[in-house]
């Protein structure tokens, strides 16, 4: 309390607008509080839906830039590519700048309040992914960030001072972190990247006040543990299963949902026979102990790098005449899934994009794999490409219209298999791919009926997108093209209503908030954060 009083006095003297103090109760109410955006996906259910209606289909064509923030990147290796989702609490914005900087801004004007950067050597390992960061977590008076070299920091929300730090994993062996942490009641949940280096991945929980680790759940089981029968010999030690994207949380069920990545090596499955649990799966975890309550594996024995590190969207509704608590996920493997999030029961699997590897999904949720669709020494053309029919960027769900929106990549690839030897801190791939880009590649924003996966409409894009979508209660869907065009679509039919050329590549997710009761929408193009409003 004394610290808050002292900061308030300093704030008055220097004209600082204040600082966020975000309680767990506020995080629970995040989805209904359109003024703030307190967690990576705009709430624990990860619907990335704004309940605000000031900006709507009748006036969105009047949107204009209210302010912009240019990220300084001189001398910082890998700082040009930005994938962060800003958070807004009490009029203050918190965002990350690649590779692991945290910046606090006045959300009214874009004025920089403070900026913090960890010391990260240019030699840091990031095998299989760019040097990026996707955002922070807020809890009480602290801001939490996971760094590229696999450390977790707690920063003072008012000053950026380090309150604590802890090393999550050894970067020298290939572990890294690029995700936005998830803040629960007294806990910070994080996952790791590194499957392409042959790590054994995990999900961790840390005490929010001290930084001490509370539990760790591995995504690849050791011998004798459930699921270990899907590995042979010592394959599990280098099994992959990265957890590099933020999960979702159901407070009523007290269950955490976290998705996992591909097995290692990526493309040569001969050296790791079996289903390779719990890779390419969603895990339902006890947030207090890390105990696994159930799992569902989307792509058993994956050999195309179709990890399941997509955002799991939680929703309630009537499925085939029965009220259910559901988990929806548009998978990288080109299928859309519904799972009962209480029991883990598979309910639905429907293709939402062109694919050539499976005839469909059987009644147990297992893909019916088409013969001869594996990588080969000579190369085998399969759709989708290793980047998948979608990737890390977020989908969105409109609970008012029961529509599920996803940015869809349409690209095939020639997949190759090769020999592989494991060496710590080196690529552990077992092959590669040659993407079918150019005229063969395209993209779209796709609207699906959430309970059936049926196609409603699409908005075509010239190239496969690397950015997500956000729906709003104003009947809109915001998205971006790979070429830098930020746009608003009519959620009812996909018609384009407004667009803005950011002048640079867009590789992040839109988000929304309000200031002084005025709705705002934000996106990053290149190294510039643009904030839009009507006034």
> Which residues are known catalytic residues?
305
The structure tokens 């629960």 sit at 184
Q: What are phi and psi of 510, to 5 degrees?
A: -70, 155
Q: Which of 104, 97, 87 is nearest to 131 (CA)?
A: 97
Classify residue 82 by burial, with Cβ atoms within 10 Å: 0-12, 13-18, 19+.
buried
What are the b/e assignments for 140-162, b being 16+ CB within 10 Å? bbbbbbbbbbbbbbbbbbbbbee
User: How does DSSP classify residue 13?
Assistant: H
Q: Which of 374, 364, 259 is nearest to 309 (CA)?
A: 259
Listed in sequence order, the residues at least 6 apart from 100 whose beta carbon sits closer than 8 Å to its beta carbon are 117, 118, 120, 133, 145, 146, 147, 148, 149
CA distances from 35 to 38, 306, 464 (A): 10, 36, 32
CB 439 within 8 A of CB 447: no
Q: Which of 435, 454, 456 is nearest to 445 (CA)?
A: 456
């Amino acid at each position: 309390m004394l610290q808050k009083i002292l900061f308030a006095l300093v704030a008055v003297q220097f004209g600082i607008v204040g600082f966020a103090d975000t309680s767990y109760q506020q995080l629970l109410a995040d989805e209904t509080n359109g003024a703030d955006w307190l967690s990576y996906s705009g709430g624990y259910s990860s619907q990335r839906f704004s309940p605000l209606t000031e900006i709507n289909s009748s006036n969105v064509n009047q949107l204009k830039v209210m302010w912009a923030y240019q990220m300084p990147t001189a001398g910082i290796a890998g700082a040009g590519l930005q994938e962060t989702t800003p958070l807004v609490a009490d009029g203050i914005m918190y965002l990350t700048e690649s590779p692991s900087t945290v910046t606090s801004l006045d959300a009214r004007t874009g004025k920089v309040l403070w900026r913090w950067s960890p010391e990260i050597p240019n030699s840091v390992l990031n095998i299989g992914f760019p040097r990026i960061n996707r955002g922070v977590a807020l809890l009480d008076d602290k801001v939490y960030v996971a760094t590229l070299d696999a450390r977790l920091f707690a920063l003072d929300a008012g000053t950026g001072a380090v309150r604590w730090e802890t090393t999550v994993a050894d970067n020298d062996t290939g572990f890294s972190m690029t995700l936005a942490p998830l803040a629960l009641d007294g806990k910070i949940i994080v996952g790791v990247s590194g499957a392409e280096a042959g790590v054994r991945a995990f999900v961790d929980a840390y005490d929010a006040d001290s930084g001490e680790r509370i539990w760790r759940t591995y995504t690849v089981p050791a011998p004798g543990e459930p699921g270990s029968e899907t590995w042979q010999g010592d394959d599990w030690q280098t099994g992959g299963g990265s957890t590099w994207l933020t999960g979702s949380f159901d407070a009523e069920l007290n269950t955490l949902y976290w998705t996992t990545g591909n097995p290692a090596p990526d493309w040569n499955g001969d050296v790791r026979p079996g289903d390779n649990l719990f890779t390419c799966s969603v895990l339902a975890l006890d947030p207090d102990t890390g105990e696994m309550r159930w799992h569902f594996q989307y792509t058993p024995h994956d050999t195309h790098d179709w990890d399941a590190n997509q955002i799991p969207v939680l929703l309630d509704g009537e499925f085939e005449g029965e009220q259910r608590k559901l988990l929806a996920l548009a998978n990288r493997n080109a299928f859309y899934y519904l799972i009962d999030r209480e029991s883990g029961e598979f309910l639905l699997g429907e293709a939402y994009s062109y694919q050539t590897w499976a005839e469909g999904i059987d009644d147990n949720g297992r893909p019916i794999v088409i013969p001869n669709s594996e990588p080969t020494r000579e190369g085998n053309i399969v759709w989708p490409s290793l980047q998948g029919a979608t990737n890390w960027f977020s989908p969105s769900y409109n609970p008012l219209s029961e529509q599920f929106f996803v940015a869809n990549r349409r690209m095939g690839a020639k997949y190759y298999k090769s020999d592989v030897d494991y060496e710590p801190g080196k690529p552990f791939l077992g092959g590669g791919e040659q993407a079918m880009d150019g005229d063969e590649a395209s993209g779209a924003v796709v609207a699906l009926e959430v309970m059936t996966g049926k196609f409603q409409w699409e908005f075509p894009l010239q190239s496969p997108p690397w950015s997500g979508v956000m729906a709003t209660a104003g009947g809109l869907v915001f998205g971006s093209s790979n070429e830098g065009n930020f746009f608003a679509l009519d959620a009812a039919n996909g018609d384009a209503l407004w667009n803005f050329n950011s002048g640079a590549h867009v590789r992040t997710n839109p988000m929304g908030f309000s200031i002084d009761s005025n709705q705002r929408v934000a996106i990053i193009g290149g190294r510039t954060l643009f904030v839009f409003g009507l006034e």
